[in-house]
Amino acid sequence: MGEGSGIYESLWNWCNSFNRVKYKNTELTKGVVAWANPGADLTGCFAEGGTAYACSPELNAIVITDPNKAQVLATAYSTLNLGSAEEAYITRSGNFWYIGDIPFSYFSEEDRYLAFADVLHDIVGVDHQQPLRAMVRLEDISAGVDPVSLDAVMSYLETENVPFAIAGIPVFEDPYGVLSGGRPTTIKMSKSKVARTIEPFYKKGLVSMVAHGYTHQSGNLNNPYNGLTGDDFEFYRVTINDDFSLNFLGGVPGDSQQWAEDRMANAREELANAGFTAFAWEAPHYFATEVDYLGINNIYPTHYGRMVYVNNQGPAGRHIGQFFPYVIQSDYYGYRQIPENMGNIEPEPFLGYRPLFPADLIRHAEKMKVVRDGVASFFYHPYLGTGYLNEVVQGIKSLGYQFIAPCSLGSCPQDNIKATVTSNEVITKTGEYSRPKSFTSYHSNFYGTQDQTKEESPAQEDSSSSGGGGGSFGFAWLVMLLTIPLVRRKVHS
Among 295, 297, 276, 460, which residue's Cα sits nearest to residue 379?
460
DSSP H or E run through 200: helix 193-203
Are residues 99 and 107 in contact, defined by beta-carbon separation less than 8 angstroms? no
Q: If you write DSSP's letter for every residue of 243-285 in order, what string do you get?
A: TS-EEEEESPTT--HHHHHHHHHHHHHHHHHTT---SEE--GG
| CATH classification number, 133-420, choose in 1.10.260.30, 3.10.20.880, 3.40.630.10, 3.20.20.370 | 3.20.20.370
How far is it, in rounded angstroms, from Cα 414 to Cα 420? 10
Residue in 338, 267, 334, 268 with CA at minimum distance from that of residue 303? 338
Query: Crossing angle for the helix pair 113-123 and 437-447, nearest 10 degrees?
Result: 140
Residues of the chain with CATH 3.20.20.370: 133-420
Q: Report the predicted TM-score, pTM, of the whole model to 2 decimal places.
A: 0.84
**pLDDT string in tens for the chain (493-residue length):** 555 665 555 545 555 689 999 999 999 999 999 998 888 889 999 999 889 999 999 999 888 999 999 999 999 999 998 888 899 999 999 999 999 999 999 999 999 999 999 999 999 998 877 789 999 999 999 999 999 999 999 999 999 999 999 999 999 999 999 999 999 999 999 999 999 999 999 999 999 999 999 999 999 999 999 999 999 999 999 999 999 999 999 999 999 999 999 999 999 999 999 999 999 999 999 999 999 999 999 999 999 999 999 877 767 778 888 999 999 999 999 999 999 999 999 999 888 889 999 999 999 999 999 999 999 999 999 999 999 999 999 999 999 999 999 999 999 997 665 544 343 333 333 333 333 333 333 233 322 333 333 333 333 333 333 333 333 223 333 333 332 222 222 222 2
